[in-house]
Amino acid sequence: MQRIIPDKNWWDNESHNRNASTVCPYANSHSCPRYHDSVVLLKRSKMIAGITDTKEEELSEYWERTKFSSLCDEELPSVCSNKNGGVSSISNFCPEISYKYFYYYADYMCKYVDEIDQDTGVRIAKNDSIKNDWKYSWMTVTPRFYLDCDVFSHVKQFNETLGNDYLKRLHPNIVQQISRMNNCLDSNDPAGALHAASNILETMAKDISQNPNVSNQSLGGFFEQFKKKSNLSNNLIVAIKDIYDLRNKLPTAGHGSLDKPELTMADAIAIAAMTKAILEIEYRSKAI
């Protein structure tokens, strides 16, 4: 039986054959404990910088409070190191993390235990002459597509339930503006989509600030208050201000003008996607 080489070509073929996305929809630390644990373990092994210590602690505590904390040790991601401090094996890993740092989509990878075994493996690899063969460096690699991940169905159910709860937590005005933003995208109105996105973020900021005195203020008037209350990272805070500022400058997005707005539909789609992501991260983070 020929070895499977779980490289990018293999992954893309699996995606095509299964009519599935080429990216796991839950491949981030906020949505999947296996992804999170895989990142943390590589950080602790000093392979990557990873997320900040504060964010790692917050997310680890978050996942500890979920049903995933009941997994036994044999089901959890793990990393073993060799005598030189390098990685000798990974187990129960997120395949997207494995590919990002070890170049193969796998949940288990094990290095050769000694030079004799590696010499044998290299001879086999040379004889078989398979493109991108992992046999040159690894004794064992177990391919894993994300749909076959041990925790995928549980993670999917968890996020769908959480997603429904998250939508229920949104202010009704935000839900209305999301519908308006989507309608603007459907009708090829990028300036309208930007205007709705800015209104969404301003309403969210007022909700998060929990200060009745800002109800009639524009975002610029209470932005510093919002920053102190928000759970968002600094780059997302900056993105909110950028979207708001762009709305104020762009003709027909925030004010009447005879000038033509210079905003493409691609820009508007990106702004809408960013706005939705900011909403989800902010409101989900309230539960952490």
In a domain, 187, yes or no: yes
Q: According to the model, what pLDDT value does residue 195 have?
A: 92
- Rounded to an integer, the average pLDDT of 163-179 is 79
In a domain, 202, yes or no: yes
- Rounded to an integer, the average pLDDT of 144-167 is 85
Domain shared by 139 and 19, yes or no: yes
How many other C-beta atoms lie within 10 A of the C-beta of residue 15?
Answer: 16
Domain shared by 199 and 117, yes or no: no
In a domain, 160, yes or no: no
What range does the domain containing 208 cover?
170-286
Domain shared by 184 and 244, yes or no: yes
pLDDT surpasses 80 at 70: no
In a domain, 92, yes or no: yes
251-270: pLDDT as tens digits:
655 555 556 667 888 888 99
- Rounded to an integer, the average pLDDT of 181-200 is 92
24-37: pLDDT as tens digits:
989 988 889 999 99
Percent of the chain with pLDDT over 70: 92
End-to-end CA distance of the chain: 47
Percent of the chain with pLDDT over 90: 55
Domain shared by 131 and 253, yes or no: no
Domain shared by 196 and 241, yes or no: yes
- Please give the residue that has the higher pLDDT: either 65 or 122: 122
- Rounded to an integer, the average pLDDT of 6-20 is 96
Domain shared by 145 and 178, yes or no: no
Domain shared by 43 and 127, yes or no: yes
Between CA 227 and CA 214 the distance in angstroms is 14
Domain shared by 122 and 177, yes or no: no
In a domain, 161, yes or no: no
Domain shared by 217 and 133, yes or no: no
Domain shared by 28 and 99, yes or no: yes
C-alpha pair distances (Å), 52 with each of 40, 46, 60, 233, 265: 10, 13, 12, 11, 35
Between CA 261 and CA 252 the distance in angstroms is 7
In a domain, 1, yes or no: no
Would you list the DSSP string of 181-193?
HHHHHHTT-HHHH
Average pLDDT taken over every residue of the chain: 89
Vertex 7 angle, CA 6 and 10, to 5°: 70
Q: According to the model, what pLDDT value does residue 95 have?
A: 98
pLDDT surpasses 90 at 83: no
Domain shared by 106 and 200, yes or no: no
One-letter amino acid at 196 equals A
Domain shared by 111 and 223, yes or no: no
Domains in the chain, number: 2
> Looking at residue 212, which CATH number applies to its domain?
1.20.120
Q: According to the model, what pLDDT value does residue 135 have?
A: 97
Q: 93, 120, 151: which is the final residue of a domain?
A: 151
* Residues 26 and 284: beta-carbon distance below 8 Å: no
DSSP 147: G
Q: 151, 184, 218: which is the final residue of a domain?
A: 151
- Rounded to an integer, the average pLDDT of 176-199 is 91
In a domain, 282, yes or no: yes
pLDDT surpasses 80 at 8: yes
Q: 117, 151, 185: which is the final residue of a domain?
A: 151
* Residues 175 and 167: beta-carbon distance below 8 Å: yes
- Please give the residue that has the higher pLDDT: either 138 or 46: 138
126-136: pLDDT as tens digits:
999 999 999 99
- Rounded to an integer, the average pLDDT of 230-258 is 80
In a domain, 82, yes or no: yes
